[in-house]
Structures are given as structure tokens and as C-alpha cells.
Amino acid sequence: MLKLNRRVAALRPSATMAAEARATELKEAGADVISLAAGEPDFDTPERIKEAARRALAAGQTKYTAASGTTALKQAICYKLKRDNGLEYEAAEVMASAGGKQGAFNVIATLFDEGDEVIIPTPAWVSFAEMVRLSGAQPKLVRASQDHGFRLSAAQLRSAISARTRGIIINSPCNPTGAVYREEHLRELSRVLAESGIWVLCDDVYEHMTYGGSAPHLFRIEPRLRYHGIVLNSLSKTYAMTGWRVGIVAGPREVIQAVARLQGQNSGNPNSIAQAAAVEALKGPQDEVATMVAEFHKRRDYVVERVRALPGFSLPNLPEGAFYAFPEVSPLLSVKWKGAPIGDGDGLARILLDEAQVALVGGNDFGAPEHVRISYATSMANLQKAFDRIEGVARRILEG
Ligand code: GLU
């Protein structure tokens, strides 16, 4: 048998990428599949950003840059952090990565080690636990209850911290639940976090996608967290730039130096053309962001209404941010389908793909097997068609 590195051998495939890949495969084979799987804005990258890429290409900006990104991009990142988050960082305290995912991975690999524990409030994005395991540390999954709006409480946080705890990953707005930590929630958590001294990784990827008011940044609420705090962000969702692969990391200078060293030994710099486009994205007019968010808001309202009307689905909390709904589907899971119980959200997602040609992601790898994740980063026409089909199949399942 092929002998692989022990940690890579144990690695699970990314459930979000796998669901999207299955949908694409079926579409390419001619099936009329609607994908509500990957969290990927359906909008095109704004023209001014594409134009900046064309200019960079014409000017021959096709060479290596510093592994951590160009000076122009680091300055643009500092400008963004001040403008959007009220956080002052110097160029030596920030870097660019090839997508938010690489930034998160490199930070986790830099800070954590065997024997360490990293708290991940669940439901959480599928890749965090795997990244922590790859670093040699153990993810400590703490389930945030639906009754508490899927937000980790300060009491839960306090009791999860042990002598081995070295960090926590906080993602607000949250993928997959859409939960947003408001100022009062962040204030409560910040007290415990400041006392504990553990690394606080803030995943801000969905920061602009909020539909009922945003919240100040955790590091604004408690500036002492900056000493043991890391900002993780990406241009993918905000500027519809998923394919360009540009992520942002900000934190204490020594940490950034170490993360850049790691990046210098694995990928080197993020794509040079994409970096030039990213400068324009961050520094140019931000009107398109508001336009896209307004559209997501409309879709969120529509999706909530449709999900709440689906037999066997429940969605008690309004998803206040990101572009996902994460309904519970428990009543459907004990029902038998073709001789066997559906079992979990992944089982239901498989049936919906086969019977309704709608791709969703099951909740298992998000840490909530009794749920499914529905991405509404697709057109209203697709959403309407997809929900009509899901409704039909859910009725058939419940009617036996
Ligand atoms: N983060 C997005 C999602 O959850 C994109 C896919 C991925 O990187 O996991 O669907």
C-alpha cells in the first residue's frame, strides 16, 4: 500500500470543494444541476479590478515579488484595515497570501504544534479542523447552540480553555450558520480571551455581508488582543475574486515574519497580476461591494422564506450575515429512502443531488450532521427553481 505522510493520509477532502466538483462534473455530463454548494459569488469581478490586472500585465509585472506580497499591496492592506476595521497596522505587520485559505493554513502551521489544542466553535467552516490537525495540534470543537444563535458563549469559552489551549478561531459572520457576533457578544468573549492570552484568529472573510447592522472588530473592542491576535481575510467574497487567490494576514511583526518564511518555502508570492488587481480592489471606489451585498440581502430574505416553508426543514434563527442558510433537517433523517434511513445531512444532500439535481453541502464536516448548508450566492432564478425542486423531493421523502 502507498505509504503517505501520516497526517496527509488522515486528511479528509474538503466537503465544500467536493460538493461543488460533483455538481460541475454532472453539469459537464449534460445534467441540469443547480449548485447551491460552494460559497462563491456569482457576480463577475468588477471591471476596474480587471482593468488593473490588464495594466499590470501590459507593464510586465510578471515576475516574482516578495513572498509576502508587494509593498503596494501591503500598503493597500493597511489602508483597508484602517478604513473598514479601524485597525492601525504597519506594512511589516501584514502580508498577502494565495487566497484566504493559504493564509489561514500558514498561520495555523506557524503558531501551533503537537500537544496544543485549538478551540473551534462549531458549526464551522470545513477546513479549519483539518488545518489544525495538519499542524499536529488537536482541534477542540465546541458546539455553539442554535438557541444561542449559534454563537459561542463566554461560559462555554471559559470552560473549553485548558492548560493545552493555544488558540481559537472566531469566524463572524459565520460560514455556515450566518451568525454574526454583535458588540455585546464580542465584549463578553474578549474579557475571557484577554485573560487567557491564547492566540485569537479572526476570520473576517464575510465582514461586509451583514444584513442587520455590522459589528466593530474584536480587536477594536479589546485592543490588548492585538498582541496575540491575527486577522485573516480574503478578497474572494468581497470583490467576487474567488479565482484570483488573494488573501490577507495581519498580526504581530514576528508572527508575520515567520508566516512569510513558511510561505517563502512553499508557494512563494501570490500571483503578481492578482496582487496588482488586489491593490485596485482595496483602494478604489467600494460601490460595487454595496451593490452585491444589497443583492445578497434580497436573496437571504427569499431563501429564509422558502426554507421555512420546506417540509422537514427548520431555520429558527435568521442568518444575519455571509451567504448561507444552515437549516436543521432532523425530521427527514430517520425516514427510510430506498430501504435505508437517510441518516444525516450528507445523506440528504446526496438524495437531493440525485432526485432534485440540486447540490448542497451536508452538515457533517461543519460539525452539525443534522443540518445542510445552502449557499445563496446564485441568481434568484436559480434559487426559485432549486427550492421548487427541493420542496417536491422533501414531500416525497416524508410521504414515503
Ligand atoms: N469557503 C467557501 C465555502 O465554504 C469556498 C470553498 C472552500 O474554500 O471551502 O464554500
122, β-bridge pairs: 143
Task: Report the alpha-carbon distance of residue 153 to residue 159 in Å, rounded.
Answer: 10
DSSP type of residue 234: E
Q: Which position has the grid cell 422564506?
A: 305
Q: CA-based diameter of the chain, in Å?
A: 64
CA of 15 to the centre of ligand 1 (A): 9
The pTM (predicted TM-score) of the whole model is 0.96
Question: 16 in ligand 1 pocket by Cβ < 6 Å?
Answer: yes
Instruction: Please report the pLDDT score of residue 44 as a whole number.
Output: 97
CA distance 356 to 334: 20
Residue 39 Cβ contacting ligand 1 at under 6 Å: yes
Alpha-carbon dihedral angle through residues 250, 141, 154, 117, given to the nearest 10 degrees:
-60
Q: Three cell numbers at 258? A: 515567520
Q: Which is nearest to 231 in space by CA: 213, 256, 209, 264?
A: 256
Does a cis peptide bond (omega within 30 degrees of 0) precede residue 123? yes
Return contacts of 227-230, CB within 8 angstroms, 24+ apart.
227/252, 228/197, 228/198, 228/199, 228/200, 228/252, 229/199, 229/200, 229/201, 229/202, 230/107, 230/111, 230/199, 230/200, 230/201, 230/202, 230/255
How far are the Cα atoms of 6, 42, 135 from residue 10, in angstroms, in the given order? 6, 33, 12
User: Which residue's CA lies nearest to atom 1 of ligand 1?
Assistant: 39
Ligand 1 centroid to residue 17 C-alpha, Å = 7
> Residue 116: how many CA atoms within 13 Å on its side-chain side?
21
Per-residue pLDDT reduced to its tens digit, 81-117 = 999 999 999 999 999 999 999 999 999 999 999 999 9
User: Which atom of ligand 1 lies closest to the CA of 14?
Assistant: 9
Does the C-beta of 324 come closer than 6 Å to ligand 1? Answer: no
- Per-residue pLDDT of the chain (400 residues), as tens digits, is 899 999 999 999 999 999 999 999 999 999 999 999 989 999 999 999 999 999 999 999 999 999 999 999 999 999 999 999 999 999 999 999 999 999 999 999 999 999 999 999 999 999 999 999 999 999 999 999 999 999 999 999 999 999 999 999 999 999 999 999 999 999 999 999 999 999 999 999 999 999 988 889 999 999 999 999 999 999 999 999 999 999 999 999 999 999 999 999 999 999 999 999 999 999 999 999 999 999 999 999 999 999 999 999 999 999 999 999 999 999 999 999 999 999 999 999 999 999 999 999 999 999 999 999 999 999 999 999 999 999 999 999 998 7
- Cα(37) to ligand 1 centroid in Å equals 9
- Give yes or no for residue 102 CB within 6 A of ligand 1: no
Residue nearest to ligand 1 atom 2, measured at CA: 39
Residue of 14, 16, 35, 372 with the most ligand 1 atoms within 8 Å of its CB, for mutation: 16
Domains of the chain: 6-31+288-399 (3.90.1150.10), 47-283 (3.40.640.10)
CA nearest to 204, candidates 190, 219, 226, 194: 219
What is the whole-number distance in angstroms between the Cα of residue 140 and the centre of ligand 1?
Answer: 21
- How far, in Å, CA of 213 to CA of 173, rounded? 11
Are 114 and 138 in contact by the 8 Å Cβ rule? The answer is no
